[in-house]
Amino acid sequence: MDLINLYLIPGVVLGCIYALGAVGLSLIYGVLRFGHFAHGDVMTFGAYVTLSAVALLGLSPFAALPIAMLVTALLAILIDRLFYRPFRDRPTIVVVIASFGVALMLRSLVEIFWGADDRSYETGIRRPVTYFDTLVIAPRHVAIIIAAVALVTVLHVFLTRTRLGKAMRAVSDQPSLARVCGIDLDTVSLWAWVFGGALAAAAGVFLATDTQLNPNMGWNLLLPLFAAAILGGIGKPYGAIVGGLVIGLAEELSSFPLFSERPLVPPDYKTGVAFAIMVVMLLWRPQGLFRGRVFE
Amino acid sequence: MTSLLAVEGLSAGYGDTVILHGVDIEAERGELAVIIGPNGAGKSTLIKAIFGIVATHGGRVRFDGADITGAAPERLVAMGMAYVPQERNVFPTLTVAENLEMGAFSVRGRLAPLIEAQYALFPELGRRRRQLVGEMSGGQRQMVALARALMTKPKLLLLDEPTAGLSPKVMAEVFGHIQAINRTGIGVLMVEQNARLALEIADRGYVLAAGRNRFSGTGADLLGNRQMAEAFLGG
């Protein structure tokens, strides 16, 4: 039962957080064809907006989530207008470097407004709830998993049922053909930022609920986020969701003491697991796990 | 009555490289016109220059009575031109139905009747409407590409080597579909590698070589022209 309670469920929770972050990376890459290195810091920003909403309005972090998602989506649109769109016709590396700059600016803004210390949404300890005698789950884990599933469902409905969502997938698939069809890149990219920003905010809030707030929390997650996006085939949102779950589970399960009393991989090296998966994927299948279903 | 498409003295190329040196072609309403010629003759460049994807350096393009030289693809689509690129002409991770819907992205109003019209023309697509196009065969993908282009109800369909990489059997099927489309009154201007087969179904043919007109005439004329046959059809 320890395997499930202490490794599998935290792995799924971490996987949900990675999935919500990675899906935004993947959407943005699919539409604008660049790796958004400020995505982790957008997550951090969303988490801190929730901190203020909790403090000022007395809401619970989950009740404040819609506010944080909205504010962060607006921030993402603003960042795109100010720092990325001017470089749209320039080589990709220019806008990638711009996103590094944005990452540093966002982190500094968070430190200026909220300080550099660790913070948390609530004080005190909540007891985990025991189900079926042996299954022990913290209520916050249940909430994170349910909320993540709900958000991914909303994204799925957008991508498969709305004209704009289908257009977003079409642009990811074949940008030149999408243009011939008269699909407006500006509108599609706006919605990629809305979803990318809002889902990053949710990921940030879930991470902060699970652990705590810190100005570096999102930046530190950038590697597993990219690993997840690459695992699923960058530019493919569904791949990024699966990739996020796989990376999250792999990181947590890698410290399970399988053969002895000692963890398989020391917990300090968790991020190394994500990195190893990313490197293996880039060498073995740079197009991602799911290319097999789709050929060009 | 003016021609549907009239290209006069068109020069075009990429950057400083000029590929077309003053090409003239014409296509009447409802006609099936074919452009053939050796590799590097500038056939694809000609189609792309007409559709506004390659920059023109000189000459004029008239479509449906209007001067469209250098006009953007979006405007041409709105005017009734549609283009099927040789490669990357479908959205592989979208279903057949979604591909058709994207083809009509600029169309206002209900799409269902338009989509049903394509399924009537390509019954196989109707049976596979929920399948991902990336999972389909080369011939089926070409059908999707054609149907997608027809969603804007074009007067003229530009096709860039629609049978490239297909087996002879599938090639014949695709030619059959193109003739069927043409019979509904849609003009077709098609670049083809398979010169003989293409000329057999063409109302009008043009032979390009090194970016210039070499021969032109009805499909039958060109097939019967010995000089032309020796040079471009392998005797």
- Most B CBs within 10 Å, among A161, A180, A187, to test the B interface: A180
| Closest approach of B97 to chain A, Cα-based (Å) | 11
Please tell me which residue of chain B has the smallest CA distance to A237.
B93
- Most A CBs within 10 Å, among B79, B95, B101, B102, to test the A interface: B102
Which residue from B185, B194, B208 is spatially nearest to B80, judged by alpha carbons? B185
Partners of residue A176 in chain B, C-beta under 8 Å: 85, 88
pLDDT exceeds cutoff 90 at A149: yes
Q: How far apart are CA A177 and CA B73, in angstroms?
A: 11
How high is the mean pLDDT in each 10-residue block of chain B (235 residues)? 89 90 94 92 94 93 94 91 94 95 90 95 96 94 96 96 93 95 96 91 93 87 83 69
Partners of residue A239 in chain B, C-beta under 8 Å: none
Nearest to A294 among B77, B92, B101 (CB): B92
- Complex ipTM value: 0.87
**CB distance A177–B73 less than 8 Å?**
no
Nearest to B93 among A169, A178, A183 (CB): A169
pLDDT exceeds cutoff 50 at A133: yes
Percent of chain A with pLDDT over 90: 61
When pLDDT is cut at 50, 70 and 90, the band that residue A191 belongs to is very high
A178 touches chain B (CB under 8 A): yes
B88 touches chain A (CB under 8 A): yes
A181 touches chain B (CB under 8 A): yes
Q: How far apart are CA A86 and CA A154, in angstroms?
A: 31
When pLDDT is cut at 50, 70 and 90, the band that residue A294 belongs to is very low
pLDDT digits (tens, 9 = 90+) for A245-275: 999 998 888 877 766 777 777 777 777 888 8
| Closest approach of B133 to chain A, Cα-based (Å) | 8
Q: What is the 3-state secondary structure (H, E, C) of chain A?
A: CHHHHHHHHHHHHHHHHHHHHHHHHHHHHHHHCCCCCCHHHHHHHHHHHHHHHHHHHCCCHHHHHHHHHHHHHHHHHHHHHHHHHHHCCCCHHHHHHHHHHHHHHHHHHHHHHHCCCCECCCCCCCCCEEECCCEEECHHHHHHHHHHHHHHHHHHHHHHHCHHHHHHHHHHHCHHHHHHCCCCHHHHHHHHHHHHHHHHHHHHHHHHHHCCECCCCCHHHHHHHHHHHHHCCCCCHHHHHHHHHHHHHHHHHCCCCCCCCCCCCCHHHHHHHHHHHHHHHHHHCCCCHHHHHCCC
pLDDT exceeds cutoff 80 at A243: yes
pLDDT exceeds cutoff 80 at A290: no
Partners of residue A177 in chain B, C-beta under 8 Å: 85, 88-91
**CB distance B91–A180 less than 8 Å?**
no
pTM (two decimals): 0.88
- Most A CBs within 10 Å, among B91, B114, B158, to test the A interface: B91
Give the number of beta-carbon pairs within 8 Å between A and B.
67
Residue-level pLDDT at A113: 94
Q: What is the DSSP string of B11-64?
A: EEEETTEEEEEEEEEEE-TT-EEEEE-STTSSHHHHHHHHTTSS-EEEEEEEET
